[in-house]
Structure 1
Amino acid sequence: MAKAKVIAEIANAHMGDPGRLRELILAAARSGANGVKFQWFHYDSLAVPDFIHYQTYIDLFIGKQQWAEAVQLAKAAGLEVWVDVYDEWGVGLLAELESQVDGLKLPTTVLQSLPLIEALHRFDKPLLIGVSGWLEEEMDSQLSYIRSHFKGPIVLMHGFQGYPTRTEDSNLSRIAHIKQTYQLEVGFADHEDADHEMAVDLPVYAYLLGASVIEKHITLNRAEKGIDYYSALTPEEFGRMVDKLRRAECVLGSLEIKESERRYLEDSSLKIVSRTELRPGEMITPANICYKRSSMPDALMARNASVQFPVIATAAIPANTPITPGKVKAPKICIAVICRLKSTRLRRKALREIHGIPAIERCLMNCLAVPGGYEVVLATSDLPDDQPLTAFTLNHQVKVVTGDPDNVAARMLSVAEAAQADIVVRVTGDNPAISPEMLQLLIDRHLVSGADFTYAKESTMGTVGDVFTVEALRRLLHYSNPLTHAEYLSFYFFNNPTLFKINAVDLPAEWVHPEWRLTMDELQDLELFEAIYQALDVGARPLYFEELKAFLQGHPEMAERNRGIQVKWRDDTELVKELNEATTLKKRP
C-alpha cells in the first residue's frame, strides 16, 4: 500500500486573521503534513443574512490577496494545497490560483449543488469527496454524475462530520466496503474529540484498514476554543499522529517479500540431501534424496525438487551430503536403433522396402517422431557387411555409430558417449512400426522412477523399446565384460534385481494387443507391413500406433498373415533356460 497522504485541515482555525493563517501553515509543515486544506467562500455568496451563522462567515472572511499569499507560503514550505470550494466566489478564486492548487474537495454538504460541480469539473484536479452520511443509492447517483464530469483521480472520504463525534460512530469497517464497492481510493476525515486518546490513533487504524488519504484538523492552541477547535490537534499532537502513521506504513510494508525475510528463508529452509551414496551418472529422484537443514549456501532447495528433478549426478555424492547445482545436470536422452544385416531368416531385412521405403528408414522416421525431440542414433557394427546401414542418416537427422558386432551393451555405450547422453532408449531395427507414443511414455516413466532399466510388462510385439540409464550399462560392463549373450541385453537386468533397479510399466490397455505381431523376422512379416502401408498409403512419414491400431481393428484379417510365427526368446524353452542361466551374474568373491 502507498504511503498515507496527510492533509492538515486548517478550515476556519485562522479565525479570519491572515497572521494566524500563516502560523497554521508553518505549523502544518513542521508537523510533517503533506499538504494543507483551505476553505474558500464569501459570506454573501454562501448564505443570506437571516442564516444563523451569517455574521460568523463575515468574521471569518479572508480576501483574495491574503489567500494568494497563503498559497505561496504553503508551496514554499513544501506543502500541497487542497481547497474546499463552497460557492461561486470560491470558484472564481480557484480560477485565479489554479496552477498552484493541487486538489479539490467536495464536502458532503455541497454534493447537492450540481451547478457548483459543473463549475469545478473544468479544473481537472484530483478530487476528494465527502461521503459520510450518504446512503449507497444516493452515492450511486452522485458518483455517476461526478465520474462523468471529472477526469482526475477521485478519493471517497469516509468519516463522521458531526460534533461531537462518538468513537463508536467512526465505523471504520466501511472503508474496505466503500473501496470494494466503488473501486476507488478511500480516505478518512474524522471529528473525534481531540482530547480523547483515539484522536491521534483513529487515523492510524483507518490507514491500516485501507485509507490512503488522512485529513485532520489542526489548531495552534485548542485551549483558546476558537472556530473548529473541537477535533483539531495541536502541532505537537499532529506531529505525533504523523509519526505513528509513518511507523504504520513501515509495519504494513508492501506485497513484496523483504530481502531480509528471503535471506532468512534461504538460510533456514530445508535443502536437498543425498539419502544414499550416489554414483556419477546415477539418476537422482525423490526416492534417493531427503530434506534437511544445511549451511551450504548453494545447496538445492527442497521446495524446488518437483521442478528440478529428476537430475543426473555428475560426480560421486556421499550419503547425507547436500546436493549442489555443480554436482547435477538435467538428463540427456537419446534413442539408439540397434541394427545389423546378419539375419538368416529374412536376409538383409533392414534394407527391404515397405511401400517403397527401406524398413530401417521407417523405423528411424518413427523414432524421430517421439514427442520429446530426442537425438536418434543408428548403432550398427564396424564390419564391412553392415556398412550399407551407415548411409541412413535421413538428411543428417540421424547420427550413425559403428562398434562391437556382438556386444550390444558396448555399442549402446558408444552411442551414449557420441550423443553425450545419460539415458538410452533401445529400439531394434527390425521394428519398422515402433510407436512414438509408447516410447515417450516409457521415457517419462523411467525419469519418474529413477530406474536402471524400464520396460513394458505387456505390449504389442514390435511397438516398444526399453530404456536404460547409461550408468547402469557401465556398471554391467564393468561387472562382466565381454557379455556372453549381449544380444539379449534385457535378460541381464531381469535376472539381477539386486544389482539393478527395474521398472515394469503397465501400458494403457488400448495399446496392448498380444495377438498382433508387428516385428519383422520372416517373409510373412514383410508381406503384412507391405499390405498395411500400401492400404494406408504411408509415404515418407511416421506411422503412429493410433492410426495403425485403427486400421488393424477395422481389418482383423490382416493380422492373420503372420500369426503363429515362433518367437525364439519367448517360445524356445531350451534357449530361455540357457539365457536365464548365462545372464544371472555370479556374486564376486
Structure 2
Amino acid sequence: MAKVKVIAEIANAHSGDPGQLSALILAAAGSGADGVKFQWFNYGSIATPDFIHYQTYMDLSMDKTLWADAVTLAKGLGLEVWVDIYDEWGVELLTELEDQVDGLKLPTTVLQSKPLIQALKKFNKPLLIGVGGWYEQEMETQVNYIKNNFKGPLILMHGFQGYPTRTEDANLSRIAYFKQKYQLKVGFADHEDGGHEMAVDMPVYAYLLGADLIEKHITMNRSENGIDYYSALEPSEFKLMVDKLRSAESVQGSLEVKESERKYLEDSTLKIVSRKDLRPGELITEEKIIYKRSSVPDAFMAQQAAERFPLISRVAVPANTPITPDKVHEPKICIAVLCRLKSTRLRRKALLPIHGVPSIERCLMNCLAVPNGYQVILATSDLPDDQPLTQFTLDNRVKIVTGDPENVAERLLIAAEATNSDIVVRVTGDNPAISPEMLGFMIEQHVKSGADFTHAKESTMGTVGDVITVEALRRLLQHTDQLTHAEYLSFYFINNPTIFNVNALVLPEKWVYPDWRLTLDEANDLELFEQIYRDLDIGKGPLHFEELKTYLLNNPKVTAINRGNTVKWRDDTILVHELNEATKLNGL
C-alpha cells in the first residue's frame, strides 16, 4: 500500500494570532506531518451578522498578507499546503497564492454550493471532498456533480464532524465501501476526543482499513481550551500518531513478496531431487524425481515440477541429487524421414509422382505440418544411387543428411546430432500420407512418459512413426551385439524391455483403421494414393488425417484398391520369428 499522507489540520487553532499560527506550522513540521491545512474565509463573506459565530469569525480573521507569510513559512519547511475554501474571499486569496497551494478541500458544510465548486474547478488541483453527515443519495448526487466538473485528483474524506466524535461513530468500514463504490481514493478526517487513547490510534486503524490520507487537528496546548481544541493533538501526541502510522506502513507492506520472505522459502522449501541415477540425455519426467529439502540454492523448487518438467539431463545426475538449471535443458525434437531408392517391387518409388508431386515430397510436407514446427530431416545413404534424394530440401525447410546405407540407427543419430536434438521421430519415406496429427500426439505422449521408445500399439498403416530418445539410440549403437537387422529398428527396442523403457501407445480410436493400407510399396498402392490426392485435389501442401479419413469413409472402394497386399514384417511369420530372435540383445 502507498505511503499515507498526513495533514496537520491547523484550522482555527491559531485564534487569529499570527505568532500562534507560525508556532503551529513549526510544530506540524517537527511532528513529521506531510502538510498543513488552513481555513480561508472572511467573516463578512462567510456569514451574516445574525449568525451565532459571527463574532468568532471576526476574531479569527487575518488579512491576506499574514496568510501569504504563513504559506511561505510552511513551504520553506517542506510542508504541503492545503486549504479549506468556504467563500468568495477564500477563492480570491487562493487566486493570489495559487502557485504555492498543493491541494484544496470542500468541507462537508459547503458541499452543496455549486457556485463555489464552479469557482474552484479552474484551479485544477487535488480536491478533498468532505462527505461526513450526508445521506448516501445526497452524497452520490454531489460527488457525481464534482466528478463532472473537476479534472484533478479527487479524494473522498470520511469523518463525522462532531466535536469530539464518539468512538462508536467512527464507522471506519465506510472507507473500503466508498473506495469500491466510487473508485476514488478515500481519506479520514479524525475528530476523536483529543484526550482519549483512541485519538492517536484511530488514524492508524483507518489507514490499515484503506485510508489514503489522514487529516488530524493540531494544537499547542489542549488544556487552554482554545478554538478547535476538542479533537486536536498536542505536538508530542501528533508526532506519536505519525510514528505509529509510519510503523503501520511498514507492517502493511505491499502485495509483493519480500526478498527476505522469498529467500526463507527458497532455503527451506522442498526441492526437486533425482529419484534414480540419470544418464546424460535422459528424459526426466515427474516419475524420476522426488521432493526433499536441500541447501543447494538454485535447485528447482517442488512446485516447479509440473511447470518445467519433463526436461533433458545435460550430465549424469546421481540419485538423490538436487536438480539445478545447469544440469538440464528443454528437450529439442526433430523428425527424421528415412529414405532410399533401392526398392525392387516399385522401383525408385520415392520419386514417383502422386497427383504431380513426388511421393517423398508428400511425406516431407506432412512432417513439416506437425504442430510446433519441428526440424525435418531427410536421412538417406551416402551412395551415388541415392543422391537424387538430396535435392528435396523444400526451399531449405528440410535438412539433408547422409550416412550408412544399411544402418538405420546410425543415420537417425546423424540426423539428431545435426540438429542437436534430444528426441528423434523416425518416419519412413514410403508413407506419403503420414499423419501430422498422430505424430504430434505421439511426441507429446513420449515426452510425458519419459520413455526411451514410443510406438503405436495399433494404428492405421502408414500414418505413424516411432519416437526415440537420442540417449537410448546411442546406447543401442554402443551395445556389444552387432545390429544385424538395423532396418527393423523398432524390434531392437520392443524386444529388450529390460534395457529400454518402451511406451506402447494406445492411439485414440478415431485414428485407428487397421484394415487400411496407406504405405507405398507396390503399383496398386501408388494407384490408391493417386486416386486420393487427385479426388481431394491436394497440391503442394499437407494432407491431414481427419480430411483423409472423411474421404475414405465416404469412398470405401478406394481402400479396396490395395487391400490384398501383404506386409513382410507383419504377415511373414517366419520372418517375424527370425526378427524377434535376432533383435534380442544380451544385457548391458
The separation in 2 between residues aligned to 1:89 and 1:391, in whole angstroms, is 92
How far residue 480 of structure 1 moved from its aligned partner, in angstroms, is: 4.1
Partner of 1:227: 227
Partner of 1:147: 147
Farther-moved stretch of structure 1 (525-534 vs 392-401): 392-401
The separation in 2 between residues aligned to 1:169 and 1:497, in whole angstroms, is 78
- Contact 1:85 1:105 (C-alpha < 8 Å) held by counterparts: yes
1:446-485 C-alpha deviation (Å, 9 max, x unpaired): 1111110111122111111111111111112222442122
How far residue 435 of structure 1 moved from its aligned partner, in angstroms, is: 1.0
Partner of 2:65: 65
Partner of 2:188: 188
Instruction: Name the aligned partner's letter for residue 145 of structure 1.
Output: Y
How far residue 532 of structure 1 moved from its aligned partner, in angstroms, is: 1.5
User: Residue 152 and residue 397 in structure 1: after superposition, are their counterparts in 2 closer, same or farther (change >3 A)?
Assistant: closer
- The alignment partner of 1:232 has SS state of coil
Partner of 1:259: 259
The separation in 2 between residues aligned to 1:341 and 1:151, in whole angstroms, is 79
The separation in 2 between residues aligned to 1:403 and 1:237, in whole angstroms, is 88
User: Residue 61 and residue 395 in structure 1: after superposition, are their counterparts in 2 closer, same or farther (change >3 A)?
Assistant: closer
- The alignment partner of 1:562 has SS state of coil
Farther-moved stretch of structure 1 (255-264 vs 168-177): 255-264
The separation in 2 between residues aligned to 1:3 and 1:105, in whole angstroms, is 20
- Contact 2:552 2:558 (C-alpha < 8 Å) held by counterparts: yes
Alignment of 1:26-37 (within 5 A): 26-37=26-37
- The alignment partner of 2:305 has SS state of helix
- Contact 2:367 2:436 (C-alpha < 8 Å) held by counterparts: yes
The separation in 2 between residues aligned to 1:384 and 1:66, in whole angstroms, is 105
Instruction: Name the aligned partner's letter for residue 529 of structure 1.
Output: F
Instruction: Name the aligned partner's letter for residue 174 of structure 2.
Output: R
How far residue 162 of structure 1 moved from its aligned partner, in angstroms, is: 0.7
- The alignment partner of 2:556 has SS state of coil
- The alignment partner of 1:499 has SS state of coil
- Contact 2:107 2:130 (C-alpha < 8 Å) held by counterparts: yes
The separation in 2 between residues aligned to 1:411 and 1:481, in whole angstroms, is 18
Alignment of 1:258-297 (within 5 A): 258-297=258-297
Partner of 2:458: 458
1:183-220 C-alpha deviation (Å, 9 max, x unpaired): 11111112111111000000011011111111111111
RMSD (CA atoms): 1.6
The separation in 2 between residues aligned to 1:5 and 1:377, in whole angstroms, is 66
User: Residue 502 and residue 61 in structure 1: after superposition, are their counterparts in 2 closer, same or farther (change >3 A)?
Assistant: same
Farther-moved stretch of structure 1 (114-123 vs 69-78): 114-123
Instruction: Say whether residues 1:177 and 2:177 are aligned partners.
Output: yes
Instruction: Name the aligned partner's letter for residue 249 of structure 1.
Output: E
1:485-538 C-alpha deviation (Å, 9 max, x unpaired): 222111122211121111122222221111211111111111111121222222
Partner of 2:45: 45
- Contact 1:300 1:325 (C-alpha < 8 Å) held by counterparts: yes
User: Residue 89 and residue 587 in structure 1: after superposition, are their counterparts in 2 closer, same or farther (change >3 A)?
Assistant: closer
Instruction: Name the aligned partner's letter for residue 462 of structure 1.
Output: G
Farther-moved stretch of structure 1 (211-220 vs 524-533): 524-533
1:1-20 C-alpha deviation (Å, 9 max, x unpaired): 22111111111111111111
The separation in 2 between residues aligned to 1:358 and 1:45, in whole angstroms, is 98
- The alignment partner of 2:263 has SS state of helix
Instruction: Name the aligned partner's letter for residue 567 of structure 2.
Output: V
Partner of 1:529: 529
**Structure 1 stretches of 4+ moved >3 Å:** none
The separation in 2 between residues aligned to 1:40 and 1:83, in whole angstroms, is 7
The separation in 2 between residues aligned to 1:167 and 1:380, in whole angstroms, is 89
How far residue 586 of structure 1 moved from its aligned partner, in angstroms, is: 3.2
Partner of 2:573: 573
Instruction: Name the aligned partner's letter for residue 258 of structure 1.
Output: K
The separation in 2 between residues aligned to 1:3 and 1:250, in whole angstroms, is 9
How far residue 357 of structure 1 moved from its aligned partner, in angstroms, is: 2.3
Partner of 1:514: 514
- Contact 1:280 1:316 (C-alpha < 8 Å) held by counterparts: yes
- Contact 1:460 1:517 (C-alpha < 8 Å) held by counterparts: yes
Instruction: Name the aligned partner's letter for residue 29 of structure 2.
Output: A
- Contact 2:481 2:585 (C-alpha < 8 Å) held by counterparts: no
Partner of 2:473: 473
- Contact 2:41 2:86 (C-alpha < 8 Å) held by counterparts: yes
Partner of 2:427: 427
- The alignment partner of 1:378 has SS state of strand
The separation in 1 between residues aligned to 2:126 and 2:394, in whole angstroms, is 70
1:201-245 C-alpha deviation (Å, 9 max, x unpaired): 000110111111111111111111111111110001001001111
How far residue 401 of structure 1 moved from its aligned partner, in angstroms, is: 2.3
- The alignment partner of 1:24 has SS state of helix
The separation in 2 between residues aligned to 1:148 and 1:376, in whole angstroms, is 63
User: Residue 149 and residue 414 in structure 1: after superposition, are their counterparts in 2 closer, same or farther (change >3 A)?
Assistant: closer
- The alignment partner of 1:557 has SS state of helix
User: Residue 68 and residue 418 in structure 1: after superposition, are their counterparts in 2 closer, same or farther (change >3 A)?
Assistant: closer
Percent identity among equivalent residues? 73
How far residue 138 of structure 1 moved from its aligned partner, in angstroms, is: 0.2
Partner of 2:198: 198
User: Residue 410 and residue 221 in structure 1: after superposition, are their counterparts in 2 closer, same or farther (change >3 A)?
Assistant: same
How far residue 407 of structure 1 moved from its aligned partner, in angstroms, is: 2.2
The separation in 1 between residues aligned to 2:194 and 2:322, in whole angstroms, is 61
Instruction: Name the aligned partner's letter for residue 561 of structure 1.
Output: I
The separation in 1 between residues aligned to 2:269 and 2:553, in whole angstroms, is 56
- Contact 1:105 1:130 (C-alpha < 8 Å) held by counterparts: yes
1:366-420 C-alpha deviation (Å, 9 max, x unpaired): 2122222222222222334333333333333322222222222222222222222
Partner of 2:443: 443
The separation in 2 between residues aligned to 1:554 and 1:129, in whole angstroms, is 75
Instruction: Say whether residues 1:156 and 2:156 are aligned partners.
Output: yes
- Contact 1:407 1:482 (C-alpha < 8 Å) held by counterparts: no
Partner of 1:238: 238
The separation in 2 between residues aligned to 1:390 and 1:89, in whole angstroms, is 93
- Contact 1:294 1:322 (C-alpha < 8 Å) held by counterparts: yes
Instruction: Say whether residues 1:308 and 2:308 are aligned partners.
Output: yes
The separation in 2 between residues aligned to 1:154 and 1:533, in whole angstroms, is 70
Gaps of 5+ in 2: none
Instruction: Say whether residues 1:55 and 2:55 are aligned partners.
Output: yes
Alignment of 1:346-495 (within 5 A): 346-495=346-495
- Contact 2:436 2:544 (C-alpha < 8 Å) held by counterparts: yes
- The alignment partner of 2:366 has SS state of helix
The separation in 2 between residues aligned to 1:399 and 1:526, in whole angstroms, is 26
1:238-258 C-alpha deviation (Å, 9 max, x unpaired): 010011111111111122222
The separation in 1 between residues aligned to 2:394 and 2:64, in whole angstroms, is 90
The separation in 1 between residues aligned to 2:434 and 2:423, in whole angstroms, is 19
How far residue 112 of structure 1 moved from its aligned partner, in angstroms, is: 2.2
- Contact 1:7 1:36 (C-alpha < 8 Å) held by counterparts: yes
